[in-house]
Amino acid sequence: MSTLHTPRRDALDSDDGQPAGFTRTPPQDLDAEQSVIGSLLLSGSGGASYRFFAEILDTGIRAEEYYRPVHQTIHRAICEVHAAREPVDPVTVADKLTERGELTRVGGRAYLHACVQAVPTAANGSHYAEIVRAKAYRRAVIESAQRILDFAYSEAGDEDEVRDLVEQQLTEIIAGTPGLHEAPPAVSDLYLPFVADLEDIQDGRKAGLPYGFDDLDSLTSGMRPGNMTVVAAQSGVGKSTFALNAAVAAAKAGGKVMFSSLEMSATELMQKIAAAEGKIPLHHMTHGNLTPEGWESVRRLGAELFQTLPLRVYRPDGASLSDITSAARSCARADGLDVLVVDYLQLVEVTQSRTITREQAVASVSRGLKNLSVQLDCHVIALSQLNDDGLMRESRAIKNDASLVIKVERPDADDKESARAGEVDLVIEKNRFGPTCTLTVAAQLHYSRFVDMAQT
């Protein structure tokens, strides 16, 4: 959100912050203001919750945007403590207010603690800040409109002066519109960061998270934030297996991953991960004939893999895009999100009307996931069904949204006597980061995994 035009301090004539020109109670939300202050005091002392403090400040909220002057004063004290690189909490902020002779005026230490206790959760602090900013913007609009009305009623000045005042006030209103961004940066501002990024790539210090297949990682430089990979295959070929293998590879490399499955339960996904990582025949777990060696592998994986792997499994109660989006945002707030896997596109539900086709509905899911990858700065792997003719079902827009499109094909799927039995082709149909080609990996589906041919 860009900087808002807010009422001048000299326009406030009472402790409740009401501008002199207002005849009705102006837009405000004192609960939200108190929650912002409380969230800052809760999360500003460092540790895991410090990211919430940063998220609140990143909204651009300023002291002048609070309706109550008391909250303005506390916010300024918080910013001063933070600027001095000291932890922000009720004690340090109370000391700063005491130093400025303002502690009693804001309600003392008791009010600071009351703000903390009023916060439902600091994780929502940035949302509370956006509410406060939106209310401040509305008050600014009202004040600007009042200035225009007062000048017009006064009959002072000529037509040009009236026009100038209107243009000035409207410009300030538009400049402060919530969500309106500043002008994009010029290439001169982007050059040095571009060179630094390029050096990191050339020196091998910066690459995307791995898919877990050497040739594919070399061809694409891995999974990059803000991009989407579409993995397409006919039913039963192994697109879910491929995506789960890639998710685990990215998580083992340190990426925070969420796997959202609309087909498999959490238990089924855990079985597949255990089979792939422990080389345990999948049917031993699903049919109840796990060997003692298999049990030992499961126990070993618990300590060596599952207890530390930053992979979350999400099986939504419904199947809507909003459910998946909400879960992804929760992951991002909790400890970050680098990779989101959605299995699969055609099962995600969207609100349909009589005027929208199924193709348009699936296209909206694809576009929603692409936008989410940009908003959360993560990589999305979206699975898609193929028709019998090898085309992606229902939506050509899926390919347009993707940075990488991989078709998974098994030569032995229809021909059990094929000379290429056990081989899988990864057909790179689209690649914004390099050439298109066909890569071959080996299928070890009894272990629920694909591996590089060199590992066979």
Cα dihedral 110, 116, 117, 119 in deg (nearest 10) = 150
Q: What values do phi and psi take at 370, rounded to 5?
A: -65, -45
Q: Using omega within 30 degrees of 0 as the cis cutoff, is the peptide bond preceding 344 cis? A: yes
User: What integer pLDDT is reported at residue 351 of this predicted model?
Assistant: 59
**Within a 13 Å sphere around the CA of 126, how many CA atoms are in the beta-carbon half?**
16
**pLDDT tens digit string along 250-280?**
999 999 999 998 888 888 999 999 999 989 9
Pairing of strands 257-261, 311-314: parallel
User: In the structure, what pLDDT confidence band is assigned to residue 32 with cuts at 50, 70 and 90?
Assistant: very high
User: What integer pLDDT is reported at residue 206 of this predicted model?
Assistant: 64
For residue 53, which of 66, 63, 65, 39 has the smallest C-alpha distance?
A: 39
For residue 345, which of 231, 445, 238, 436 has the smallest C-alpha distance?
A: 231
Give Rg (Cα) of the chain.
28
User: What integer pLDDT is reported at residue 4 of this predicted model?
Assistant: 41
- Any residues with CB less than 8 A from the CB of 450 and at least 6 apart, and which? 213, 238, 241, 242, 245, 424, 441, 442, 443, 444
- Any residues with CB less than 8 A from the CB of 118 and at least 6 apart, and which? 31, 34, 35, 38
**pLDDT tens digit string along 176-185?**
655 444 567 7
Report for 41-55, 83-97, 409-423: range of highest mean pLDDT:
83-97
Q: Show the domains of the chain with their CATH numbers.
A: 9-175 (1.10.860.10), 214-455 (3.40.50.300)
User: What integer pLDDT is reported at residue 393 of this predicted model?
Assistant: 56
User: In the structure, what pLDDT confidence band is assigned to residue 152 with cuts at 50, 70 and 90?
Assistant: confident
Q: Sign (positive/negative) of CA torsion 324, 329, 335, 340? A: positive
Average pLDDT value for residue range 101-128: 92
User: What integer pLDDT is reported at residue 420 of this predicted model?
Assistant: 83
- Give residue 60's region: left, alpha or beta (phi > 0; psi -120 to 50): left
pTM of the model: 0.62
Q: What values do phi and psi take at 192, rounded to 5?
A: -65, -45
How far does CA 36 lie from the centroid of its chain?
Answer: 21
Contact status, residue 132 vs residue 17, Cβ threshold 8 Å: no
Name which residue leads in pLDDT, 386 or 145. Answer: 145
- Mean pLDDT estimate for the chain: 83
**pLDDT tens digit string along 183-211?**
677 888 888 888 888 887 777 666 789 99
User: What integer pLDDT is reported at residue 23 of this predicted model?
Assistant: 62
For residue 346, which of 214, 180, 232 has the smallest C-alpha distance?
A: 232
